[in-house]
Amino acid sequence: MSTEEKLDQLPYRQFVKKREEQEQERDRDRSMAYMHKSQQVLTELLNLPQSSGPTGKDYAQAIADFDKRYKTRLRGLPAGALSGGFLNAVETYREDRVRGRQEINSLVVAILNERLTGRRGRPDSLGGIRWDIVSENIEYLPRDLLDAVAVKFRDTYKSMARCKRCNRLFIRDYPNERHCSGTCKEEARAIGQREHMQRKRKRAKEAQQKNSAAKSKSRRKQ
């Protein structure tokens, strides 16, 4: 047995190792909880108003409401700045994929690499990214809700689209999805059916008028 193996058998070393394993497990549980909430927060951020314009009151109220619910959980950053950063990256990607990926990468890395205050007030030197040098695997381990939102953004930016009914940005579950919710899908279907019936009635009326005109012309010839 090597010296290191003998040291690992000491009660203190076993205690420290067990405590580290427990802390890692708690970190993963917290990360999973943050990731569970991340898609909702990201979708809200992407759909916040971007300027006051004619609806200045609505804009200010939307920003205030979001900040009231999430600002302290997003490192105190203002909703307007966060929303603009994520939205600009999405729009850039839609216009130029290469430049968009670079912008998305810069945004996500900046968030995940920010030094935060860790346990017992010590700075967190690891950031939200863990690299296993043996397996050469990269693991994203969100330390807070903002890390989780950044990871969700990295994972889903290719699947983002605008709803054909309400124009909200949403994350598609499958490639051909066109609506952000069942409500929008049903409303779009109802509108489509109504427009179809209107076109059908219009064609029937035109055919009837054409038929009546032909009959009138035939009677005049007789």
Quick: pLDDT tens for 115-135.
Answer: 887 655 445 556 677 777 777
For the chain, 222 residues long, give each residue's pLDDT as a single digit of tens.
566 565 556 566 676 667 777 777 787 888 888 999 999 999 999 999 876 554 456 788 889 999 999 998 999 999 989 999 999 999 999 999 999 999 999 999 999 988 887 655 445 556 677 777 777 778 788 889 999 999 999 999 999 999 999 999 999 999 899 999 889 999 988 888 888 888 888 888 887 877 777 777 666 666
In terms of domains, do 209 and 111 share one? no
Contact 59, 51 (CB under 8 A): yes
Give CA separation, 21 vs 25, 26, 144, in Å. 6, 9, 20
In terms of domains, do 32 and 97 share one? yes
In terms of domains, do 141 and 195 share one? no
Helix (H/G/I), strand (E/B), else coil: 78: coil
Measured from the Cβ of residue 170, the count of other Cβ atoms closer than 10 Å reads 22
Query: Amino acid identity of 143?
Result: R
In terms of domains, do 86 and 189 share one? no
Give CA separation, 176 vs 91, 135, 164, in Å. 20, 36, 12
In terms of domains, do 161 and 62 share one? yes
In terms of domains, do 196 and 135 share one? no
**What CATH number is given to the structural domain containing 139?**
1.10.3300
In terms of domains, do 117 and 142 share one? yes
In terms of domains, do 108 and 38 share one? yes
In terms of domains, do 10 and 111 share one? yes
Q: How many domains does the chain have?
A: 2
Convert the pLDDT of each residue in 203-219 to its tens digit: 888 878 777 777 776 66
Half-sphere exposure of residue 167, counting CA atoms within 13 Å on the CB side? 2
In terms of domains, do 86 and 191 share one? no
- Which pTM does this prediction carry? 0.74
What residues make up the domain containing 176? 3-180
Query: Amino acid identity of 125?
Result: S
In terms of domains, do 113 and 30 share one? yes
In terms of domains, do 36 and 70 share one? yes
